[in-house]
Amino acid sequence: MKIVVSGGGTGGHIYPALALIREIQKDTKDAEFLYIGTEKGLESKLVTRENIPFKSIHITGFKRKISIENVKTILRFFKGVRDSKKMLKDFKADVVIGTGGYVCGPVVYAAAKLGIPTIIHEQNSVPGLTNKFLSKYVDKIAVCFDEAKKFFPQEKVVLTGNPRASEVLGNDGIKGRLSVGLKTNLPVVLIVGGSRGARPINEAVLKSLTELGRKPYQVLYVTGDVHFEEVQKEVELIGNPENVIIKPFIHNMPEILAGTDLTIARAGATTLAELTSLGIPSILIPSPYVTNNHQEKNARSLSDHGAAELLLEKELTGKKLIEHMDQILMDDLKLNEMKKAAKKLGIPDAANRLYHLMEKLVNSIGSK
């Protein structure tokens, strides 16, 4: 089977696509893949390092305000559709799956117009602009939250969960810890601001750095690639405590998560799928800068069930961060309750569910 996957911009759209590819590769040697993304998005780096054939189109996102840029985006969209059609025909795609981000718009639309079976995967509880647009044209819509169903045509929607939830299972946490220089005998707090890092989280962590150095736990603090140098400069002035390891980006996140006791993160949907699948307690600081405030809604779907604590960015300080961490890590009962609550919300077989949906769709169309 020839499978085209498209999704990009940020890790939250790319890692689910990669996890689906790996699930299919585990099951069959007969699948061929083509990933269509943009050169500028994180996908051009992440996909090529996995040795998956990658092609790009040029496309930008819509601005919410009326602007001349939007006219250019419309022109780029139609050019993107033409380029995608050519790529899909040359590759002879049997099915096309979009995992979100604006690059999916022209690719999945082109596939639908060519009569190729199409699926979109929506990670969030509130869908993005591209998936809402595409929902009219695609055959199936895979969602990760029941709350997301109401935004789409009912006959197309299936709850699959996020394939990344499956991929993070069964990894070696000790190997993960050793890979970044963490000790094996102390609890680990992972601090990460989503795939691109988050300045407000970085500021709060820097304010609490000295205090963190006195704690009976260790911290893996991931700054985000673009913020790393700036953070390092500050750290040189403050001093880097021995129990705090600082990295720009983590490429072996499944192993790292397997060795993590508590996570402090933004509330990107893919991160949340990983945390619930593994049953990792978290303190979530949703980004208020996203469409329809969807990260807060994502976060509440965990915090309402006791799987996470919600800390709004407007209330975020270094002191608050440490208080929350201490309260959870110093209380075994609470930690265990949160673990159990998180695990209950996970969909660990999500990759298989999405793969199955894809196979069923291709077979049903093939037999018409």
Nearer to ligand UD1, 218 or 295 (CB): 295
- 221 sits near ligand UD1 (criterion: CB under 6 A): no
Q: How far apart are CA 32 and CA 252, in angstroms?
A: 24
Find the binder of ligand UD1 among 43, 255, 274, 309 (CB under 6 A). 274
Name beta bridge partners: 37: 56
Name beta bridge partners: 159: 143
- 133 sits near ligand UD1 (criterion: CB under 6 A): no
Q: Is 364 annotated as a binding residue?
A: no
Q: Is 10 annotated as a binding residue?
A: yes
Nearer to ligand UD1, 249 or 355 (CB): 249
Q: Which two tokens stand for residue 267?
A: 């509330």
Find the binder of ligand UD1 among 6, 38, 124, 282 (CB under 6 A). 124
Render 100-134 in DSSP notation, one character per residue. SSTTHHHHHHHHHHTT--EEEEE-SSS--HHHHHH
Alpha-carbon distance values, 343 to 131, 165, 209, 348 (Å): 28, 11, 30, 9
In the bound complex, what is the minimum distance in angstroms from residue 307's beta carbon to ligand UD1?
Answer: 16
Nearer to ligand UD1, 191 or 362 (CB): 191
- Point out which span in 107-115, 247-255, 325-333, 354-362 binds ligand UD1 (CB under 6 A): 247-255
Q: Which two tokens stand for residue 321?
A: 């961060």
Nearer to ligand UD1, 83 or 301 (CB): 301
Nearer to ligand UD1, 235 or 362 (CB): 235
Q: Is 70 annotated as a binding residue?
A: no
Q: How far apart are CA 363 and CA 282, in angstroms?
A: 41
Q: Is 260 annotated as a binding residue?
A: no
Nearer to ligand UD1, 164 or 177 (CB): 164
- Region 47-106 residues binding ligand UD1, contact defined as CB under 6 A: 100
Residue 139 · residue 338 · CB < 8 Å: no
Find the binder of ligand UD1 among 222, 283, 285, 361 (CB under 6 A). 222
Handedness of CA 279, 283, 286, 287 (dihedral sign): negative
- Point out which span in 8-16, 89-97, 150-158, 181-189 binds ligand UD1 (CB under 6 A): 8-16
User: What is the separation of C-alpha 133 from the centre of its chain, rounded to a whole number of angstroms?
Assistant: 21
Q: Is 61 annotated as a binding residue?
A: no
Q: Is 295 annotated as a binding residue?
A: yes
Q: Which two tokens stand for residue 201?
A: 């989280």
Closest to 49 (Cα-Cα) out of 80, 90, 18, 72: 18
Closest to 199 (Cα-Cα) out of 225, 164, 223: 223
Chain contacts with ligand UD1 (rule: CB under 6 A): 10-13, 15, 100, 123-124, 164, 192, 194-195, 222, 249-250, 253, 266, 268-271, 274, 287, 290, 294-295, 298
